Amino acid sequence: MTGYKELFIRTVKQSDFSDWKILYKKYLIFYKTNLTETELVKLWTWFFEPQKQIYCFIAIVQNKPIGLIHFREYLRPIKATNGMFIDDLYVDNAFRGQGTARALIKAVREFCVNKKINSVRWITAQDNHDAMKLYDQLAIQTPWRMYEMPIQDEV
């Protein structure tokens, strides 16, 4: 249940680019990073490729996009199945605490049910305590630690 009379979650359309870009730039600022205009356009085009590798849902209240979620399918060799990974989740500050993030995650879950995918994973920053309160209600925290190896640098 959300705090809105009418909250809609749907796949992005080409006409959503400007609104999506505003939301995604706010997400990037939150994580203290940025993308160039070229990189933003590149990411945007991925959502519309015929052999789609990444998906984007947006949350809409009163015809205004207020949140987004990016997610992608991946192979799970150890289970011989597919999984879904949430890369980005953002709700505009003015609309937080009203169930939008929960609704976006549940929309991904429903998408997975329809595709017969049996798990959804995501990561968050260790200091993102507000988000973790929600995540602890929806999922199980795993014991795994994530590593990242920059390819351009020597290890």
pTM above 0.95, yes or no: no
Beta strand extents in the chain (DSSP E only): 7-11, 55-61, 64-76, 81-91, 120-122
The string of pLDDT tens digits covering residues 62-98 is: 999 999 999 999 999 999 999 999 999 999 999 999 9
Domain membership of residue 152 (yes or no) is no
Q: How far is Cα 86 from Cα 135, in angstroms, rounded to an integer? A: 12
The CATH number given to whatever domain includes residue 19 is 3.40.630.30
Residue-level pLDDT at 116: 95
Residue 153 pLDDT grade (very low, low, confident, very high; cuts 50, 70, 90): low
Total structural domains in the chain? 1
Mean pLDDT of the chain: 94
Q: How far is Cα 27 from Cα 85, in angstroms, rounded to an integer? A: 17
Percent of the chain with pLDDT over 70: 96
Q: At what angle do helices 37-46 and 17-30 cross, to 10 degrees?
A: 120
